[in-house]
Amino acid sequence: MNNILIGLKRFIGNKNIVTVIAVIIILGLLYWGYQSQINSSVNPVSVPVAKATIQPRTEITSDMISRIKVPKIAVSEDVITNTTNIIGKYTNINVTIPAGSMFYNGILVNKEALPDSVFTDVKEGDIPYQFAVNIETTYGNSIYPGNMIDIYMKAKDDNDQIMVGRLLENVEVLAVKDSQGKNVFEDVNDTKAPAFLLFGVPEKIHILLRKAVYLKGEGVELFPVPHGGMVPVQGDLQVDIAELENYIEARTVNLLDSDLDEATEETIPSEEEDTTVEE
């Protein structure tokens, strides 16, 4: 027994041997920790993904979701792993989720929080205006958000002569919407008929447009033309904006705000109701 104790003391007292053993133990612990970390990172976890491409402003339903297994390391903190946090939400206005993609925080919102980005693009001091159009007046649905347009007016003067002139110049189209208030070019797989061009104008021009729309029953027509493009309608007289303003004001000077609201009410659809447009 004494020999064993003496031998153990000598063994422990040998610094070289102790150092080697300590190094081996440390290396073993490091290897075990590394292997545990690797196994944890590559261990597959189940996450929800989109079955097919999901377009902006779309409500997520259960049939749009499937689950796949991916290495845990591929799942960041922004990935939504619980389907209950996905179903019933909407894709944001500027978000398209590709087929097979995971769902991330920030790209899904509640319906009441879903914004209409067009109003954030209206310049300070301008008022948003929805200008009624159709396939024909948009040149086969070829007017896009970001395009610059002019608004022309056609009317008959007191001598029964047709006059045509430019009422607005170089207006930026902020959005093109269908009769239900949905963006026409939002879903590339779904062709929608344009019903309104949205743009911002100063208050004075906003009122002038509303008055001109009120005169629709007297034969006044408003139509868009790509800025600098050829006017598709010809008349007996080519007039400037001042003459058009005088024409409009002379026929609407006594209109009340309620009359204008009634005249333009049909040109402002909401996204909650189905609104049709008379051609």
Would residue 147 count as lying in a domain? yes
CB atoms near residue 261 (< 10 Å): 11
Total tally of structural domains belonging to the chain: 2
Q: What is the pLDDT of residues 141-159, one digit of tens each?
A: 999 999 999 999 999 988 8
Q: What is the pLDDT of residue 165?
A: 93
Cα separation values, 168 from 148, 201, 258, 262, Å: 11, 9, 24, 23
Judgement on whether residues 124 and 148 belong to the same structural domain of the protein: yes
Judgement on whether residues 233 and 176 belong to the same structural domain of the protein: yes
Task: List the one residue out of 148, 68, 56 whose CA is nearest residue 100.
Answer: 68
Which residue, of 69, 87, 113, is where some domain finishes? 113
Judgement on whether residues 96 and 214 belong to the same structural domain of the protein: no
Judgement on whether residues 53 and 184 belong to the same structural domain of the protein: no
Would residue 91 count as lying in a domain? yes
Quick one: angle between helices 2-13 and 15-42, nearest 10?
Answer: 70
Judgement on whether residues 195 and 182 belong to the same structural domain of the protein: yes
Q: Is the pTM of this model over 0.95?
A: no
Q: What is the pLDDT of residues 223-245, one digit of tens each?
A: 999 998 888 888 888 889 999 99
Task: List the one residue out of 185, 186, 174, 180 whose CA is nearest residue 57.
Answer: 186
Phi, psi of 139 (to 5 degrees): 55, 50
Task: List the one residue out of 111, 113, 138, 114 whose CA is nearest residue 192.
Answer: 138
Q: What is the pLDDT of residue 33?
A: 60
Judgement on whether residues 71 and 146 belong to the same structural domain of the protein: no
Rounded to whole angstroms, how far apart are CA atoms 240 and 169? 11
Residues of the domain holding 150: 117-267
Q: How many residues does the chain have?
A: 279
* CATH code at position 85: 3.90.1210.10
Which residue, of 72, 94, 113, is where some domain finishes? 113
Q: Tokens 């292997």 identify what position?
A: 35
Give the model's confidence band at 200: pLDDT under 50 very low, under 70 low, under 90 confident, else very high: very high
8 A C-beta contact, residue 103 and residue 75: no
Would residue 242 count as lying in a domain? yes
Q: What is the pLDDT of residues 172-192, one digit of tens each?
A: 999 999 998 888 887 767 778
